[in-house]
Structure 1
Amino acid sequence: MSYEPENRTKQTLAEQVAEQILNDIVDKDLEVGAKIPNEFELAEKIGVGRGTIREAVKILVSREILTIRRGAGTFVSERQGLLDDPLGLCLLKDKTHLALDLLSIRLMLEPEISALAAANARPEQLKELGKLRDQVEELINRGEDHTHADILFHRQIAACSGNLVMEKLIPVIHSSITLFVDLTNARLKQETIDTHREITDCIVRKDPEGARCAMYMHLTVNRRLIKSLEGN
């Protein structure tokens, strides 16, 4: 069976195949040191060329999810993707539970980050935040994947906060945005547009309490939908 690439922007075929290989590792509960199928077997199973498999494996090696041992094969890395996923979240199997836990952490942090952003954002940061909000809206309205733009929007809020630690920490937990979009098939499109507008408007107006409440509402609605999917 040939591999049909997903309709995701900013992903090459090799990147999509890398995600499929990663999903197989998770679904099969492969442990550290487990050997994965060879290049020929993967190409036949997924339905792509061996060159694409090589590129996909290189991606996973660069992310420290896989490691290549010359003459032996390709294995699940001991570092488990710590390069761009320092908590190893991509290898946790229960994605619904993971999304809920990540949203719980975000509820602890992001309302306060939004309040700080309203107090501390510089004019050029506000301009960039507005651009990212508009980009998310445009992608949603065109029916295109808005995940990457959504992540950048939330990261910009962290940058606006002026807190150097939060600016570095927030990207670690924002994998929940990708998980949320995948799990819900982006059902809350209008809610995303409306709450992003409200969050941005409050930050621009220098309204910390309004920004705090708007972000809390945004995340709470998301969590409610994820919660409804438990057990499905």
Structure 2
Amino acid sequence: MSLGALRPSPLVEQAAERLREQISGGDWAVGTKLPGETSLAKSLGVGRSTVREALRALAGAGLVQARQGSGVFVIATRPKEDWSARLRQAAITDVYEVRMLLEVEAAELAAQRRTDDDLAALDAALAKRRDAATGSDEEFVDADIALHAAVVAAAHNPVLTALFTEFVPALRQGLIDLVELLGLRSGDPNHGDEGHAALVDAVVRSDAEAAGRTLRDELRQTLAQLHSL
């Protein structure tokens, strides 16, 4: 099979794309063993090292798998979906349900693990949320998310922090839409201040049960409002 020589640069990206096209186009079905590196390098007009890196990229995308002593085999015809892309496409209510599971646990851990630096960060985030009450809906939502991020950070679990960070883009737009569509700040520019103050207070007092309960109640209320849209 002739794949056609490639342009000089960037070779690895071009090689990976060419091989991806062959796989998605059905030239190599699932379960098929790919030609060896030498053969692929000759067909593509590149070195073996370029082919090796291209195959690693395809393995990372979930298209191929190297089997020790056997070669490289096709295991899928489409790349596995990126987590961030999946979140962007998900319904905001689905994202919010998972957010509840993540953040309630984080709040309870934060109450148990928070440091003096965390307390200072929480106080500052709550103050900024209050200051943002005079700003736009976008500014207010950003300040709200920053306070929640400070709570998650106080849990001192890098996996929880990374997961929350992944959720932020989908959450941000969903919350902006919620605020605007329901006019949540029309009568109270600092909507939800009491609940957020109670959350910070529970973390300060190291009351894990209260921190989890306060956040769960707030998020359930917001989820109900999202379902009403």
Q: Structure 1 length normalisation: TM-score? A: 0.56
* TM-superposition CA deviations, 1:193-214 (whole Å, max 9, x none): 1111111010011100000001
Report the identity percentage: 22
* Corresponding residue number in structure 1 for 2:123: 130
- Aligned-partner SS, 1:86: helix
Consecutive unaligned residues in structure 2, runs of 5 or more? 1-77
Return the letter of the residue paired with 2:164: I
* TM-superposition CA deviations, 1:172-206 (whole Å, max 9, x none): 11231331222331616544211111110100111
Structure 2 Cα separation of the partners of residues 209 and 172 of structure 1: 26
- Aligned-partner SS, 2:104: helix
Residue 182, structure 1, aligned to residue 203, structure 2: no
119, 143, 153: which one pairs with 2:147? 153
Consecutive unaligned residues in structure 1, runs of 5 or more? 1-77
* Corresponding residue number in structure 1 for 2:98: 105
Return the letter of the residue paired with 1:162: H
Return the letter of the residue paired with 1:160: A
Residue 202, structure 1, aligned to residue 199, structure 2: no
* Corresponding residue number in structure 1 for 2:40: none
1:14-25 equivalent positions in 2, closer than 5 A: none
The answer to whether the Cα contact below 8 Å between 1:107 and 1:219 also exists between their aligned partners in 2 is: yes
- Aligned-partner SS, 2:184: coil
The answer to whether the Cα contact below 8 Å between 2:87 and 2:167 also exists between their aligned partners in 1 is: no
Return the letter of the residue paired with 1:161: A
Aligned length: 145
Structure 2 Cα separation of the partners of residues 197 and 106 of structure 1: 20
Give how far 1:110 is off: 0.9
Structure 2 Cα separation of the partners of residues 225 and 86 of structure 1: 24
* TM-superposition CA deviations, 1:51-88 (whole Å, max 9, x none): xxxxxxxxxxxxxxxxxxxxxxxxxxx99x96xx7244
1:78-117 equivalent positions in 2, closer than 5 A: 86-90=84-88, 92=89, 98-117=91-110
* TM-superposition CA deviations, 1:88-134 (whole Å, max 9, x none): 433x2xxxx71111110011111111010000011011101110111
Give how far 1:154 is off: 1.3
Return the letter of the residue paired with 2:205: R
Q: Structure 2 length normalisation: TM-score? A: 0.57
* TM-superposition CA deviations, 1:142-180 (whole Å, max 9, x none): 455212222221111111001121011111112313312
The answer to whether the Cα contact below 8 Å between 2:199 and 2:211 also exists between their aligned partners in 1 is: yes
Structure 2 Cα separation of the partners of residues 218 and 178 of structure 1: 18
Structure 2 Cα separation of the partners of residues 223 and 196 of structure 1: 16
* Corresponding residue number in structure 2 for 1:69: none
Larger Rg computed on CA atoms: 2
The answer to whether the Cα contact below 8 Å between 2:96 and 2:223 also exists between their aligned partners in 1 is: yes
Residue 164, structure 1, aligned to residue 178, structure 2: no
Give how far 1:228 is off: 1.1
Structure 1 Cα separation of the partners of residues 122 and 193 of structure 2: 14
* Corresponding residue number in structure 1 for 2:228: 228
Structure 2 Cα separation of the partners of residues 223 and 194 of structure 1: 18
